Amino acid sequence: MNDSPTDLPAPSHASAAEGRSSAATGGRRTQAERNATTRAALVEAGRTLFSTKGFAEVATDELARAAGVTRGALYHQYDGKAGLFAAVLEAVEAEVVDRVARAMEGAEDPAARLVAGLDAYLDACADPTIHRITLVEGPAALGWSAWREVGHRHGLGLVEQAVAAYAPAGAPVEALAHVLMGALGEAALFVAAAADPAAARQEAHRAVIGLLQGLGRGSGGEPGSTTDGRSGRT
């Protein structure tokens, strides 16, 4: 397959969308606005195609058609398929971290915040789109180091803050945060691969809670869980 950045005619729906946007602003769209519209369309198309077909099975022509732009526009904005995938991964990781952070905000103490964050993360990773892009396609498309760097850039700070608030004085917070990040990823993969995801969810929850309880000994409060694998539920 020829992957060179050759322009192809954009589908008519792209022109219609641009026309509506242009009319809404009196016909005066800036280059920055046009670029932002193109990037958003490409990321949306990439999110759909990468999560349903996989990175390796999606062609640049297909991405461009789905976004309603030319291949040249794809290469101009993201320098090709890998660059677009990286942008999709960044967007999805940011979405996951936002969901986790919002869940943790409502918790009343450090232990409860950690458990709320665990629940929110496992919930997010149960979404097939999020799971495939962040945990399956990510390392395959970008390589392990680049994929890990994206995940840590978005989530490690939040995990470090939660661990620092919960761990006893003198605990190696940075190392513990890295260990917990790894445990969370493996927990999500374990659940997704299980024949019985609901039962696996309970087991994964209990396993991570066990790690946190070991961390919290001496901190004045340990996280707990109920029989359905969620804090505060019966």
What are the structural domains of the chain? 12-79 (1.10.10.60), 89-216 (1.10.357.10)
pLDDT in tens, 40-90: 999 999 999 999 999 999 999 999 999 999 999 999 999 999 999 999 999
When pLDDT is averaged across residues 142-147 and rounded to a whole number, the result is 97
DSSP code, position 137: I
Residue of 193, 189, 201 lying closest to 228 (CA atoms) = 201
Q: What is the mean pLDDT of the chain?
A: 86
Average pLDDT over residues 97-109: 95
Burial-class residue 9 by CB neighbours within 10 Å (0-12, 13-18, 19+). Answer: exposed
Residue 14 has pLDDT above 70, yes or no: no
| Number of Cβ atoms within 10 Å of the Cβ of 113 | 21
**pTM for this predicted structure:** 0.80
Q: What does R_g of the chain's alpha carbons equal in angstroms?
A: 21
Express each pLDDT in 159-203 by its tens digit.
999 999 999 999 999 999 999 999 999 999 999 999 999 999 999
Distance CA 141, CA 168 (A): 39
The torsion region of residue 27 among left (phi > 0), alpha (psi -120 to 50) and beta comes to left
Query: Which of left, alpha, beta for 86 (phi over 0: left; psi -120 to 50: alpha)?
Result: alpha
Q: 193: number of CA atoms within 13 Å, CB side?
A: 9
